[in-house]
Amino acid sequence: MNQQRDPKLPLLAVLMAGGGGTRLWPLSRPAQPKQFLPLIGGRSLFQLTVARLREILPLENIFVVSNSQLMPMIRSSDAGLPQENLLCEPSPRNTAPAVAYALAVLRTRFPRFVMACLPSDHYIADTKQYLALVQAARSLAGQGYLVTLGIEPTAPATGYGYVEQGDRLDSVDGLPAFRVRRFQEKPTAEEAKTMLAQGGFSWNSGMFFWRSDVLEEEFRTQQPAIAQALERMAGLLERKDGEATWKAVWETMPVLSLDYGILEASDRVAVLPARGLGWTDIGSWDALVELYQAHPELRGDAPGGVIDVGSQSVTVIRKTDSRRHLATVGLRDVIIVETDDAILICQRGKSQDVRKIAGML
The contact set with a copy of itself (CB under 8 A) reads: 25-26, 307, 309-311, 324-332, 334, 336, 338, 341-347, 349-351, 353-354, 356-357, 360-361
Q: What is the SS3 assignment for 111?
A: coil
Closest to 14 (Cα-Cα) out of 91, 109, 78: 109
**DSSP H or E stretch at residue 272:** strand 269-274
AA letter at 37: L
Nearer to a copy of itself, 26 or 119 (CB): 26
Q: CB of 288: closest distance to a copy of itself in angstroms?
A: 15
Q: What does the alpha-carbon distance between residue 354 and residue 6 come to, in Å, rounded to a whole number? A: 46
Report in angstroms how near the CB of residue 159 gets to a copy of itself at its nearest: 16
Contact 71, 88 (CB under 8 A): yes
Q: How far is the CB of 25 from a copy of itself (least distance, A)?
A: 8
Q: How far is the CB of 293 from a copy of itself (least distance, A)?
A: 19
Phi and psi at residue 307, in whole multiples of 5°?
A: -130, 145
Name which of 153 and 305 has its Cβ closer to a copy of itself. Answer: 305
d(CA 100, CA 78): 27
- Cβ-contact 225, 249 below 8 angstroms: no
Residue 259 or 338 having the CB closest to a copy of itself:
338
- Kindly tell me which of 25 and 208 has the beta carbon lying closer to a copy of itself: 25
**Closer CB to a copy of itself, residue 240 or residue 324?**
324
Report the 10 Å Cβ neighbour count for 84. Answer: 10
Cis bond before residue 224 (omega within 30° of 0): no
Compute the least distance from the CB of residue 22 to a copy of itself, in Å: 12
Provide, rounded to whole angstroms, the least separation between the CB of residue 341 and a copy of itself: 6
CA–CA–CA angle 260, 20, 57 (5° rounding) = 75
The residue among 72 and 349 lying less far from a copy of itself, judged by its C-beta, is 349
